[in-house]
Amino acid sequence: MKPPPFGYSRPESVADALATLARLGPDGKVLAGGQSLLPILSMRLAAPHHLVDINRLSELGYVRVEGGDVRVGALARHAQVLADLPARAAQPLLGKALRLVAHATIRNRGTTVGSIVHADPSGEMTAVLALLGGTVRVATTAGERDVPARDFFVGPLESAVQPGELAVSATFPVLPPRAGTAFVEVARRNGDYAVCGVGALVELDADGAVSSARTAYLSVSPTPLVLDLTDAIGSEPDFAAAAVAAREQVEPEPDIHASADYRRHLAGVLTERALREAHAEALERSGRD
Amino acid sequence: MTRMFGQPIPRVEDDRMVRGHGGYLDDLGHDALACAFVRSPHAHAEIVDIDVTGALDVDGLVAIYTYEDLPDRLADPLPLLIPHPALTEGRTQYALARERVNHVGEPVVMVVAQDRYVAEDAAERILVSYRSLPAVVGIEAARAATQLVHPDVPGNIAANMLQTVGDVDAALAAAPHILELDLSIERSASTPMEGRGVLARWDPESHRLRLWSSTQTSTGVRAAVASKLGLALVDVDVITPDVGGGFGVKIMHPWPEEVLVPWAARQLGRPVKFVEDRREHFISSAHERAQLHHVRVGFDRDGVILGLDVRFWHDHGAYIPYGIIVPMITSTQLLGPYKPGAYRVEFDSLYTNTLIVTPYRGAGRPQGVFVMERTMDAIAATLDLDRTVVRERNFIQPDEMPYDHGLLFQDDRPLIYDSGDYPTLLDKLKKLVGWDEFEAFREAARAEGRRVGIGLGCYVEGTGVGPYEGAHVVVEPSGKVKVATGLTTQGQGHQTVFAQIVADELGVPLSDIEVVTGDTRRFGYAVGTFASRAAVMSGSAIALAARAARAKALKVAADALEANPDDLDIVDGIVRVAGVPGAEISLGTLAVLANPLRYAFDDAAKAATQFAVGDTSKPPVGEDDEPGIEGRDYFSPMQSTFASGMHAVVVETDPDTAEIKILRYCVVHDCGPLINPRIVEGQIHGGVAQGVGGALYERMAYDEAGQLQNASFMDFLMPYVSEVPERIEIDHLETPSPLNPLGIKGAGEAGVIPGAAAFASAIEDAEGITITAMPISPSELFELRRRHEERSSP
Ligand SMILES: Cc1cc2nc3c(=O)[nH]c(=O)nc-3n(C[C@H](O)[C@H](O)[C@H](O)COP(=O)(O)OP(=O)(O)OC[C@H]3O[C@@H](n4cnc5c(N)ncnc54)[C@H](O)[C@@H]3O)c2cc1C
């Protein structure tokens, strides 16, 4: 479990990093927190020619609330985002999901943007980005582009970031008024990737009726799955009906930890739990509890 | 002086360990060459060709070895360590595969290079072509034997063993009730934090080998390596550095790597080191536990067992170097605290194309206890009796001790329980967990829509198995006491408990005692650390050796102080004459006096030169005497001593997600008098954690092709601290053993033994669904519920 030989650069600025990545093209690979990349290297599942270590790019180590978004720089660690009170106040789902990402030691190094670029369909932050309809800002020496979540996740462990590109930040829209969120999951052990997980965003209209109910799923699809359950839940909120609708739409695979049926069952149970919790929060935030 | 035996003092080794000052195998030998192995990617295959050319130009490569390179003895199969008459078809592996491979992970090529990175680069470039063969995976496939692991072993059966007491068929025929049960346990493994490792230095001048191994038996490794390399025992030193856990797996020896590394060091004239990585540990060390059992039990209307017939199948993997110890233990220790009436037990030990099996903490007992306790619960359910009542009615009673089961134990000696009080243990457990109040708790929980259950598991554990251990205790002129025993330490706290024993026996402060274990330079005769035997075996030997040193000290002191030895006592390292203030002499001075010298190299020595001491009419060292204040002794009991215990667990199962939560975990435990209660409780905590792992999380997920799909800590679910109950409630009973000078019994394995049994009982109680297989995951519980519903709703 030792990586094969690789080249290594540690640029001191974003401009430097972009120039290095442009020069390396398909041979370059970004190293952020290393919490996913290093195990892959050590198990020799990948053999990139050259690592570009972005840990000196302190200019990307920010978490900001700007306009209608929380913007997270590429060097902001999970722990830093989790500890950022203004960001969590603006979008409470960030904190609810980040608590469930791995363990404290891994959150201290792993970056939120890195976990999104890594595009693991079991990653909490991929689901959060997809559910909230966030974006990822990707840069090259030629300029920057913003990629919306729905275009960002291409396949399991495959994102829209191309060789030579650096993801510099991700944005998460702030919570609208009269809305509530929840994130629930079942993991085999505390901090493990979830067997199934559900994030929920419920919005109410001025009369307190559900105007939008959306959910996002972990570990039941190749890319983050987002469902619009607004019709299923109805204005009355029928959480059980929403759970049935969710169960019918997920297509989980079995693995050594869980059967496909169990995952499907969990998708239903957790949908109901997440929607109830998000709905209760939305009511509370509308002053209607 | 307060007696140190029984004091819950903190471990003397902790300060060093916690500060990161431990010295583990990989902390040694920074000048050594590293090695990596090309291991079989197939579970079963013929080796067609090995092409190393691609690796030859890797910078830093030192040597590549295949089977063809091995000299005579190294080219023979590795030893079958524990032969047994019932083990008729024993097969062991070659140090490097010869023509065939029989499990994924079997070493095929050894690469030596300047560091591990380079060694892996070279290994990656070696091309081995295989012709793959169908793999035998799992007990069903092994029994079906449509494919054979070893072509010359029919039925894949290495051993068949049968033991009987009484007439089981008659007992079952006459029994008012008969039940049949099929019960299975899956594979798990010891998974110590530190894997295997070995470092060898060959001294070409003196033709001596010095070897460090992360092992549970340095003397065993020494004997095996000396034999394989054709060296005299005195020319091989084996030293065990700090060991980051063993839990059984490191009692296996010699590993292929353990003989190849010293051989390569001699070939190359340079130190060589192998440090196993985690993936290697999963696929090339050893596993345990997989067994399938069929039980027929006959009992009367009170639940008293009249006859017990157990047939089981043990999956020992591709080879059987450690013999049939594990199934032998299951077949005897299954009986626990009970009288089975007539008993018949028969097992087959089966080859499969998976990793070998050697004892893992508990060693066959968790399976046996699972079988017996499931049987007890099934009897209780059949007769609608409380589960504790059925157990009580089958207990061996204290006044029946010593109790002879009429069977042979793992050491081929009669299975005779030396002492124990099972009814009292059960009373203590019921009180501790609140067994009789549980129904009220269940009702209250049910009212809140919660589902809870309680379960228990009882066991008896043969500990302190022979053949022997020895110890050496010497008082230095400084007054410090140096203790050596040959067995090894892998985190148990031996330095502390052995020092506690010596402190009492010799009357010296704990801080003056230093204990060395597992170093053949200090003590060459030993067996090893396994079977909860260190305290019983080495502890007893150390007590005896310390007594001998004490006797010698008192004899020398009696001369020096012109007193009667019976009037002397040793307190805080000073010998005093009772009732004569000022008449005293320190142990250090006695050590000087006991060693008559020619040379005065310091002030203390001056006092002991031939001109300073002694009666010129006698030889300086008497005819029956030896210089120094020393004691050396051995302890070799007739048989094992039997510890016992009972666990109760309260679980809550989520009606929707089928998650299983532990609400309480209670342990009552009897290992005789406790040398150090804090250390015993630590052992129990660790054992319970492994029990939780075995019951709820861990399994070796082999696919049909024999690939281990979860060979990492990401997918092999060893519980984190967050999965282990925050509080483990413990109560002790201390029933002394008549079999050793301290009256003690072993405690190392106990915590893990009844885990699967207790959890199965509790989950069954919560769910009302029969549990016959462990471990159990939420996904499996979900599937069980679904099948149960389908069956109950036609
Ligand atoms: C034991 C363990 C448990 C874990 N459990 C969870 C969990 O429960 N949930 C969860 O979501 N995650 C979990 N993780 C993963 C963790 O969140 C990772 O840190 C994260 O997925 C990757 O972030 P990183 O900064 O470490 O990225 P790295 O490992 O450095 O990189 C990951 C990939 O993303 C690319 N990359 C990273 N940053 C950029 C960038 N700015 N631009 C372009 N490419 C980039 C890299 O090239 C690489 O391909 C776990 C990890 C471990 C080790």
**Tell me, what's the pLDDT at B418?**
97
| Alpha-carbon span B396 to B393, nearest angstrom | 9
3-class secondary structure, B223: helix
What letter does residue B693 receive in the DSSP assignment? Answer: I
Q: What is the pLDDT of residues B379-425, one digit of tens each?
A: 999 999 999 999 999 999 999 999 999 999 988 899 999 999 999 99
Q: What is the mean pLDDT of residues B443-454?
A: 98
Which residues in A lie closer than 8 A to residue B657 (C-beta atoms)?
Answer: 186, 266, 269-270
Instruction: Give the CA angle between residues B169, B171, B172 to the nearest 5°.
Output: 65
* Interchain proximity B121–A4, CB inside 8 Å: yes
Residues in the ligand 1 pocket, defined by CB under 6 Å: A 29-37, 74, 101-102, 106, 110-111, 113-115, 117-118, 123-125, 161, 166-167, 193
> Which residues in chain B are contacts of A265 at CB distance < 8 A?
782
Q: Measure the CA–CA gap between A82 and A72, rounded to whole angstroms.
A: 11
C-alpha–C-alpha distance, residues B247 and B240, integer Å: 15
On whether the B14-133+190-284 domain is CATH 2.60.40.1930, my answer is: no
Do the Cβ atoms of A266 and B657 come within 8 Å?
Answer: yes
**Which pLDDT does position B624 carry in this prediction?**
86
Q: What is the pLDDT of residues A195-223, one digit of tens each?
A: 999 999 999 999 999 999 999 999 999 99
Cα distance between residue B83 and residue B69, in whole Å: 29
Residue of A169, A139, A175, A136 whose CA lies nearest to A153: A136
| CA A112 – ligand 1 centroid, Å | 8
pLDDT at B47: 98
Nearest Cα to B309, choosing from B362, B347, B363? B347
Residue range A95-117: mean pLDDT, rounded: 97
> DSSP label at B697?
I
CA distance to partner chain A, nearest, from residue B696 (Å): 10
Contact B664, B433 (CB under 8 A): yes
Chain B CB contacts of A4 below 8 Å: 120-121, 124
Q: Which residues contact A194 (CB under 8 A, 6 or more apart)?
A: A100, A122, A124, A185, A186, A187, A218, A219
For residue B215, how many other CB atoms are within 10 A of its CB?
33
Candidate from A53, A57, A115 with most ligand 1 atoms within 8 A of CB, to mutate: A115
pLDDT tens for residues B397-408?
999 999 999 999
Q: How many CB pairs under 8 A join A and B?
A: 64
Residue contact B719–A189, C-beta within 8 A: yes
Amino acid at B780: E
User: What percentage of chain B reaches a pLDDT higher than 70?
Assistant: 99
Give the distance, in angstroms, between the CA of residue B556 and the centroid of all CA atoms in the same chain. 41
> Domain extents for chain A?
1-174, 179-283
Query: Is the Cβ of B437 closer than 8 Å to some Cβ of chain A?
Result: no
Q: What is the pLDDT of residue B607?
A: 72
CB pair distance less than 8 Å for A257 and B715:
yes
- pLDDT of B214 reads 98
Ligand 1 atom closest to residue A31's alpha carbon, by position in its atom list? 30
Report the nearest-CA residue for atom 19 of ligand 1.
A110
Structure tokens, B106: 């079997």
Fold of B291-465+638-792: Aldehyde Oxidoreductase; domain 4 (3.30.365)
* Nearest CA owner, ligand 1 atom 10: A123
**Mean pLDDT to the nearest integer, B711-723:** 96
Q: Which residues of A touch B710 (CB under 8 A)?
A: 256
Give residue-wise pLDDT tens across range B247-271: 999 999 999 999 999 999 999 999 9
Average of pLDDT values for B181-207? 97
706-765 in chain B: CB under 8 A from chain A: 709-710, 715, 717, 719-720, 722-723
Q: Which tokens sit at B517?
A: 């274990």
Q: Is any Cβ of chain A less than 8 angstroms from the Cβ of B657? A: yes
The stretch B606-634 carries a mean pLDDT of: 83
Instruction: Specify whether the backbone of B255 is left (phi greater than 0), alpha (psi in -120 to 50) or beta.
Output: beta
Global confidence as pTM: 0.97
Chain A touched by B786 (CB under 8 Å): yes
Residue B714 CA: which ligand 1 atom is closest? Answer: 1
Task: Spell out a b/e string for A88-125, using b for 16 or more CB atoms within 10 Å of the CB, else e.
Answer: bebbbbbbbbbebbbeeebbebbbbbbbbbbbbbbbbb
CA distance A175 to B212: 61
- Of ligand 1's listed atoms, the one at least distance from the Cα of A102 is 5
Contact B778 A1 (CB under 8 A): no
Per-residue pLDDT at B598 exceeds 80: no
Q: What is the pLDDT of residue B608?
A: 72
- Interface residues from chain A to B (CB-CB < 8 Å): 1-5, 43-44, 103, 186, 188-192, 195, 256-259, 261-262, 265-266, 269-270
User: Which residues in chain A have Cβ-Cβ distances shorter than 8 Å to B117?
Assistant: 2-3, 5
A200 and A275 in contact (C-beta within 8 Å)?
Answer: yes
CA dihedral for B736, B738, B744, B747, sign (positive or negative): negative
Q: Which CATH number fits domain A179-283: 3.40.50.720, 3.30.390.50, 3.30.465.10, 3.10.20.30?
A: 3.30.390.50
Share of chain A above pLDDT 70, in %: 99
List the domain boundaries for chain B. Answer: 14-133+190-284, 291-465+638-792, 469-635
Q: What is the mean pLDDT of residues A58-66?
A: 97
Residue A123 CA, closest ligand 1 atom number? 11
Query: Could you tell me the distance, in angstroms and rounded to a whole number, from the CA of residue A37 to the centre of ligand 1?
Result: 7
% of chain A residues with pLDDT over 90: 98
Report which DSSP code applies to B521: T
Burial (0-12, 13-18, 19+ Cβ within 10 Å), B150: middle
CATH class of A1-174: alpha beta
Pocket residue to mutate for ligand 1, from A21, A36, A72, A257, most atoms within 8 A of Cβ: A36
Looking at residues B263-286, what average pLDDT do you find? Answer: 98
B779–A189 CB contact, under 8 Å: no
**Residue A166: per-residue pLDDT:** 98
**CA A87 / ligand 1 centre spacing (Å):** 21
As a whole number of angstroms, the distance between CA B578 and CA B567 comes to: 5
At B613 the pLDDT is 67
Residue B372 tokens read as 């017996």
pLDDT over 80 (residue A288) = no
DSSP letter (8 states) at residue B10: P
Per-residue pLDDT of B13-27, as tens digits, reads 999 999 999 999 999
CATH code reported for the domain at B469-635 = 3.30.365.10
**What residues of chain B lie within 8 A of the CB of A257, using their CB?**
715, 717, 777, 779
pLDDT, tens only, B507-552: 999 999 999 999 999 999 999 999 999 999 999 999 999 999 999 9
Which residues of chain B are within 8 Å of residue A192 when distances are taken between CB atoms?
A: 717
**A108 min Cα distance to partner chain B (Å):** 18
pLDDT value, residue B623? 84
Say whether pLDDT at B793 is over 90: no
Interchain CB distance below 8 Å, A186 and B778: yes
Helix (H) or strand (E) holding B225: helix B218-229
Cα–Cα distance between B759 and B694 in angstroms, integer? 10
Whole-number pLDDT of residue B604: 73
pLDDT at position B602 is 80
Q: Is residue A289 scored above 60 in pLDDT?
A: no
B704 touches chain A (CB under 8 A): no
Residue-wise pLDDT tens digits, A2-53: 999 999 999 999 999 999 999 999 999 999 999 999 999 999 999 999 999 9
Task: Give the residue ranges of DSSP H helices in B230-309.
Answer: 256-268, 278-284
Do the two domains B291-465+638-792 and B469-635 of this chain adopt the same fold?
A: yes
Closest approach atom of ligand 1 to CA A38: 29
Judge whether residue A159 has pLDDT over 60.
yes
Tell me, in angstroms, the distance from the centre of ligand 1 to residue B192's CA.
Answer: 27
Q: What is d(CA A75, CA A32) in angstroms, rounded to the nearest whole number?
A: 7
Of A2, A3, A189, the CB nearest to B722: A189
What are the start-end ranges of the E strands in B25-67? 33-39, 45-51, 61-65
d(CA B394, CA B377): 13
Closest alpha carbon within chain A to B125 = A4
Check if the beta carbon of residue B762 is closer than 8 Å to that of residue B725: no
